[in-house]
Amino acid sequence: MRSRVWGSAAAVVLGGLLAAGCGGGEKDTGSEGAGKAKDSVSGAYPVSVTDCMGAKTTFSAAPKKIVTSNASSLELLLRLGAGDKVIGTGFPPGKGTLPGTLDTQAQQVKVLSQTVIPKEKLLGSGADLYIDTFASMGSMGGGGMGDAPTPEEFQAAGIKHIYLKSTACAAQSKSPVTDLSAVEADITSLGAVTGTSARAKELVAGMKEKVDAVQKAVAGTPENKRPTYFFFDYDAGTKQPTVTCNRQVANVVITLAGARNVFADCDGDYKQVGWEDVIAKNPDWIQLGVRNQGSEAANKKAFDEAEQWLKSNPATKGLKAVKEGHLLRVGSEQTTIAGVENADTVEEIAKALYPGKVG
């Protein structure tokens, strides 16, 4: 499986210790609340988190120097107000890819690598915490991605190593994901680790409010009458489509928006299929999965290219969604990467599929 530019994101889930959950209630407005952690003293320690296999990492105090494996975990820290603790990142966000002041703050973070951070640079970074989006850097294939430090090497360098479970553990899930609870738990637990629990509670409350409103609006449409939906990952390549399966957060986003993921019967997070498989599904709607290019003009150009490919390719131009113009322009990251914007995407998709019902 190829590496994704942003990886796939969120934060660690508390291993049975859901600490520091006070405060909140204010609706999230995106970039508000970013910057310094105004409630950093509200953390209740010790806090323990687990990895995909259940191994526990315990924090007796908030970390002071954090390195993030990619832009997705960096964005969450910025939204939580813990951005001032981040001293470096891999897979940095392109300029303009994050909203408002988040983008300005993200551009000030030191870039340790454009891809996976080299082992030596990570161990010598001076960090006391490394937040890892990927289940294993070694599993991402060759191509100079580098070797992951061993647990002993992390310990010797004084770096705690935790994983972003809502995505790092997705492929190992024993059943399809059906809601955003894992993402919300990620945000809650990362808030507990960094001492920003009040802000985490605000973010989660804002997500729930949006999703609940959509669920109420589409509740009257029976499951078997809901439109079928295909996430076209244009940036993954067009020769052989890469589809989002039932362990991927995109499956949840699509389902909560009142649609039916045409590849929900695929166990795992991603899978490569043939175009004949997509044709057989003949979806009612197709989302043009394009990553943020850094500007409105560049995004439009990328969406135009994806749409033109579907309309001109002999294998896809006859699809129902293509002929009817049901081609939705919603960014890839906010659909496939676990985070606060998943709830916004649920709302955006539902507005297109249920005009007049979702406001």
In a domain, 112, yes or no: yes
What is the C-alpha to C-alpha distance for residues 287 and 284, in angstroms, rounded to an integer? 10
Last residue of a domain, one of 157, 173, 207: 207
Claim to verify: residue 191 and residue 283 sit in the same structural domain: no
In a domain, 289, yes or no: yes
User: Tokens in use for 56?
Assistant: 């526990």
Give the pLDDT of residue 136. 59
CA dihedral 291→293→299→305, nearest 10 degrees, is -70
Claim to verify: residue 310 and residue 184 sit in the same structural domain: no
In a domain, 12, yes or no: no
- Which of 44-53, 102-111, 309-318 has the least mean pLDDT? 44-53
Last residue of a domain, one of 207, 232, 265: 207
What's the number of domains the chain is made of?
2
Claim to verify: residue 236 and residue 188 sit in the same structural domain: no
Could you tell me the residue range of the domain that residue 248 belongs to?
221-353
For 305, phi then psi, to 5°, come to: -65, -40
Claim to verify: residue 199 and residue 60 sit in the same structural domain: yes
In a domain, 317, yes or no: yes
In a domain, 247, yes or no: yes
What is the C-alpha to C-alpha distance for residues 112 and 215, in angstroms, rounded to an integer? 41
pLDDT for 20 beyond 80? no
In a domain, 257, yes or no: yes
Q: What is residue 62's three-state secondary structure?
A: coil
DSSP collapsed to 3 states, 243-303:
EECCCCHHHHHHHHCCCEECCCCCCCCEEECCHHHHHHHCCCEEEEECCCCCCHHHHHHHH
Q: What is the pLDDT of residues 168-205, one digit of tens each?
A: 887 788 889 889 998 998 899 899 999 999 999 999 99
Give the pLDDT of residue 160. 97
What is the C-alpha to C-alpha distance for residues 90 and 111, in angstroms, rounded to an integer? 6
133 and 166 in contact (C-beta within 8 Å)? no
- Which amino acid belongs to residue 343? A
Claim to verify: residue 149 and residue 233 sit in the same structural domain: no
Place of tokens 């494996």: 69
Number of H helices, E strands in the chain: 13, 12
Give the pLDDT of residue 264. 97
Give the H/E segment covering residue 56.
strand 56-59
pLDDT for 40 beyond 90? no
CATH number where 315 lies: 3.40.50.1980
Claim to verify: residue 203 and residue 257 sit in the same structural domain: no
In a domain, 77, yes or no: yes
Last residue of a domain, one of 207, 233, 263: 207
In a domain, 32, yes or no: no
Give the pLDDT of residue 173. 81
Claim to verify: residue 45 and residue 170 sit in the same structural domain: yes
What is the C-alpha to C-alpha distance for residues 78 and 321, in angstroms, rounded to an integer? 37
pLDDT for 324 beyond 60? yes
Task: Please report which confidence band the pLDDT of residue 341 belongs to, taking 50, 70 and 90 as the band edges.
Answer: very high
pLDDT for 34 beyond 80? no
- The distance from CA 20 to its chain's CA centroid, rounded to whole angstroms, is 23
Average pLDDT on 233-240 reads 94
Average pLDDT on 268-274 reads 93
Claim to verify: residue 49 and residue 161 sit in the same structural domain: yes
Average pLDDT on 215-221 reads 96
Claim to verify: residue 51 and residue 199 sit in the same structural domain: yes
Claim to verify: residue 56 and residue 190 sit in the same structural domain: yes
